[in-house]
Every structure is written in structure tokens, then in C-alpha cells.
Amino acid sequence: MAKPRHKGKSKQKKPNKVVQAKASNIEAENSEIKEEALSANESEPKTKAPEVKKEEKTLSEKEQKKLAKEQEKKDKQIAKEKALKKKKEADEKAGKLTMGQRIKETGSELKKISWPTFGQTMKKTGVVIAVVLFFAVVLFAFDYVLSLLQGLII
């Protein structure tokens, strides 16, 4: 049997030296970042709760009551701020606007209006006056006829 012929030798690609160098640099940077993160985590206290507990143990009852009152005041203030924020959001959803917002929106809406020309305005004014005069004449005539009928009846 004859050996199968290949058009070219099978080439196994060898990694490029530049690519290998970049990969090693990236790995080194990643390990440095991880080390920095670990050292930062170790330097920071994990929780502040144990420190507070230690302070509470050393504080007298009066001091603890003062701290509790101060904490209650802070909690109330935070609750008020949250309530105001919710109210503002609800007002915005309901369409309530402040005076400044209304003025700005009015100005922007006025810019969108296509105003009629002077000639168009005069024509429309003439039509309105003509319709008013027509109905005035009709009503005067109707009133005159009704007053004549009333005079005949009485």
C-alpha cells in the first residue's frame, strides 16, 4: 500500500513569543491586583459592629440612653427625608409640577405653536363679526315678531 500524499506537511502552530509575553504580563497584573485587594481587605475592619459592642459595654447607662436618643433622632430624620422623597416622586407621577417647571414647560409649548399671519387673523376676525351681526339680526327679528304676536293676543 502506498502512503497517502499530503500537499503540505502538517504544521503545528507554536505560540508566538510576543503573545506568550503579553499573557505572562496579564497574569502578573492579575495576581498583583488580587494581592492588593486581599491586603486592602485585611487592613479594613471586617465589621464595625464588634467595636460598637465594645463601646457599649464600657458606657454607662446614661451614655447608652443618650446614644439611643441620638440614634432615634437620626432615624426619624431619615424617615422624614424618605417620606419627602416618596411624596416628590408621587407628585411627579401624578403630574404635579412646581411653578418653575410649569413656566419652563409653558415657554417650550409656546415655541411649538404655529401662529397665524396678520392677514389670516383679520379674515377670521371678519368672519366672527359677520356671524355675530347675522345672529343679532335674526334674534332682533324673532323678538319683533314675538312682540307683535303678543300685542295681537292682548
Beta carbons of 83 and 75 less than 8 angstroms apart: no
Per-block average pLDDT, block size 10, for the chain (154 residues)?
56 56 65 64 52 60 86 91 85 76 89 93 97 98 95 88
Q: Given CA atoms 136, 142, 146, 148 in this order, what sign does their dihedral have?
A: positive
Q: How many angstroms separate the CA atoms of 134 and 140, rounded?
A: 10
Domain with 32, as residue range(s), is 18-47
Whether 10 maps to a domain, the answer reads no
Whether 42 maps to a domain, the answer reads yes
Whether 54 maps to a domain, the answer reads no
| Per-residue CA distances from 152 to 49, 142, 148 (Å) | 104, 16, 6
Whether 109 maps to a domain, the answer reads yes
Q: How many angstroms separate the CA atoms of 153 and 141, rounded?
A: 19
Question: How high is the pLDDT of residue 124?
Answer: 97
Q: How many angstroms separate the CA atoms of 31 and 37, rounded?
A: 10
| pTM of the complete model | 0.33
Whether 93 maps to a domain, the answer reads yes
* Same domain, residue pair 108 and 92: yes
Closest CA to 23 of 13, 35, 31: 31
Q: How many angstroms separate the CA atoms of 16 and 3, rounded?
A: 33
